[in-house]
Amino acid sequence: MPNSETDTESNKAVVRRLIDEVINHGRLEVLDQLFVPEKLADARRWIAPFRRSFPDVHMRPVALVAQEHQVAGRFTCSATHLGPWLGHPPTGRRFMDVAEVYFFRFRDGLIADMWGLEDNSSRLLQLGLD
């Protein structure tokens, strides 16, 4: 019988790897180790363009809460706008500590689904794009 405490800690470790290795350090090849195969393309479509727009992005987990096959995370995100984003040319401006919340659903120790809320209003305002 699986140990649910071990499973939840393992799931939180996967989220930490996603943030540290992929989001913060741009190691997109690590996605293969974190997502179920049918979600890999979606993950790349979300992360790769964001990293091109904000190559120095740094996300910081504020809180991770896990229960059964789900992890909820609260994060802050900071970066410099160095590439096109949402149709806006690069501004060279930096946004700091934008709040983000994500929910991850796991299957067999891999991310099977995720969705989130980002304070893009604050991000746009800080970048002078409001």
Domains of the chain by start residue, with CATH: 4-126 (3.10.450.50)
Q: Count the Cβ atoms, other than its own, within 10 Å of residue 5.
A: 9
pLDDT for residue 2 is more than 90: no
**For residue 91, which phi and psi values (nearest 5 degrees)?**
-100, -20
- Distance separating alpha carbons of residues 14 and 103, to the nearest angstrom: 13
Tokens of 91: 């501004």
Q: 111 phi and psi, to 5 degrees?
A: -70, 120
pLDDT higher than 60, residue 1: no
Span 75-129, pLDDT tens digits? 999 999 999 999 999 999 999 999 999 999 999 999 999 999 999 999 999 999 9
Share of the chain above pLDDT 70, in %: 96
Q: Is the pLDDT of residue 25 over 60?
A: yes
Give the pLDDT of residue 57: 98
